[in-house]
């Protein structure tokens, strides 16, 4: 079974631009979560989606948004990029809601903002 | 506030030595508990999890962890470390359902493991 796929793997943008990252979950998984990883703040939760509905949102500004499609693929968008948005963005997929899920992570998208 | 603490930022062990990585959580009820490993430039790989039942759980790559409710701890252990175990290790929790936090993982700060030959 294929794992979680994230595209692109690497991205370089300049301040003020916007970016869209994509995540394809494991086949059959209906839930996707996104995390930001930085050296200073560690791993922080961005959003959680289940069946195209946002179920949970972390403490990030409105410039960070996401969505999930009917095939469970998910995208996240960051508008008006800031230097501090440089990070590894990780996507996790799992079967369903409820806390007792094994969450499988993709390799991440490394975003660099210049 | 709910939190996850990994007291050791860096740990160095000799190859073949035993390993214990500490993790403490602060929640009013027992959360769901996880350990993940991350190699440089890679995503997170799940080593093991605890949801309920037997407090000693076995994971992949020869790792095990013990849940101790009285100490609010979930320490990761390995009897004999291999050079390939050098990586960063993250303890994570999903809050109990009463917190209505869905599947949000709250991570500790991580412990970087170095293995001496």
pLDDT tens for each residue of A4-46: 999 999 999 999 999 999 999 999 999 999 999 999 999 999 9
By C-alpha distance, the chain A residue nearest B97 is: A99
Q: Which of A42, A104, A106 lies closest to B107 in CB terms?
A: A42
Q: Going residue by residue through chain B (117 aa), what tens digit of pLDDT does each one get?
A: 679 999 999 999 999 999 999 999 998 788 899 999 999 888 999 999 999 889 999 999 999 999 999 999 999 999 999 999 999 999 999 987 777 778 899 999 999 999 999
Give yes or no for residue A97 having a pLDDT over 90: no
User: Contacts for A69-76 with beta carbons within 8 Å, 24 or more apart?
Assistant: A72/A25, A72/A29, A72/A30, A72/A32, A73/A22, A73/A23, A73/A24, A73/A25, A74/A22, A74/A23, A74/A25, A74/A32, A74/A34, A74/A49, A75/A20, A75/A21, A75/A22, A75/A23, A76/A20, A76/A21, A76/A23, A76/A34, A76/A46, A76/A47
pLDDT of residue A1: 67
pLDDT of residue B1: 67
The answer to whether B27 contacts chain A (CB < 8 Å) is no
Sort out which chain A residues have CB atoms less than 8 A from B94's CB and list them. 99-101
**Residues A33-90 pLDDT 10s:** 999 999 999 999 999 999 999 999 999 999 999 999 999 999 999 999 999 999 999 9
Q: Give the torsion through C-alpha atoms of B70, A101, B92, A26, to 10 deg.
A: 160
CB A98 to CB B105 under 8 A?
Answer: no
pLDDT band at A103 (very low <50, low <70, confident <90, very high): very high
pLDDT of residue A31: 94
pLDDT of residue B99: 76
The residues, any chain, with a CB within 8 Å of residue A39's CB and separated by 6 or more, are none
CB B105 to CB A35 under 8 A?
Answer: yes
The residues, any chain, with a CB within 8 Å of residue A56's CB and separated by 6 or more, are A33, A45, A47, A48, B101, B102, B103, B104
Give yes or no for residue A2 having a pLDDT over 90: no
Identify the residue with better confidence: A110 or A102. A110
């Amino acid at each position: 079974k294929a794992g979680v796929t994230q595209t692109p793997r690497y991205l370089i943008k300049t301040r003020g631009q916007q970016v869209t990252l994509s995540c394809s979950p494991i086949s059959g998984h209906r839930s996707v979560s996104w995390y930001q990883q930085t050296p200073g703040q560690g791993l922080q939760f961005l959003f959680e989606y289940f069946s195209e509905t946002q179920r949970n949102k972390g403490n990030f500004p409105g410039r960070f948004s996401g969505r999930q499609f009917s095939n469970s693929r998910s995208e996240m968008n960051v508008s008006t990029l800031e230097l501090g948005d440089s990070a590894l963005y990780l996507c996790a997929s799992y079967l369903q809601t409820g806390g007792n899920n094994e969450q499988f992570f993709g390799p991440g998208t490394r975003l660099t903002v210049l | 506030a709910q939190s996850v603490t990994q007291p050791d930022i860096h740990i160095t062990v000799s190859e073949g030595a035993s390993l214990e990585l500490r993790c403490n959580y602060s929640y009013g009820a027992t959360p769901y508990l996880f350990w993940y490993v991350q190699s440089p430039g890679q995503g997170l790989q799940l080593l093991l999890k605890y949801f309920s039942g037997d407090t000693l759980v076995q994971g992949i790559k020869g790792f095990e962890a013990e849940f101790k409710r009285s100490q609010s701890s979930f320490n990761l252990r390995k009897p004999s470390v291999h050079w390939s175990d050098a990586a960063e290790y993250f303890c994570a929790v999903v809050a109990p359902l009463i917190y209505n936090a869905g599947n949000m993982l709250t991570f500790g700060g991580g412990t970087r493991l170095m293995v001496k030959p």
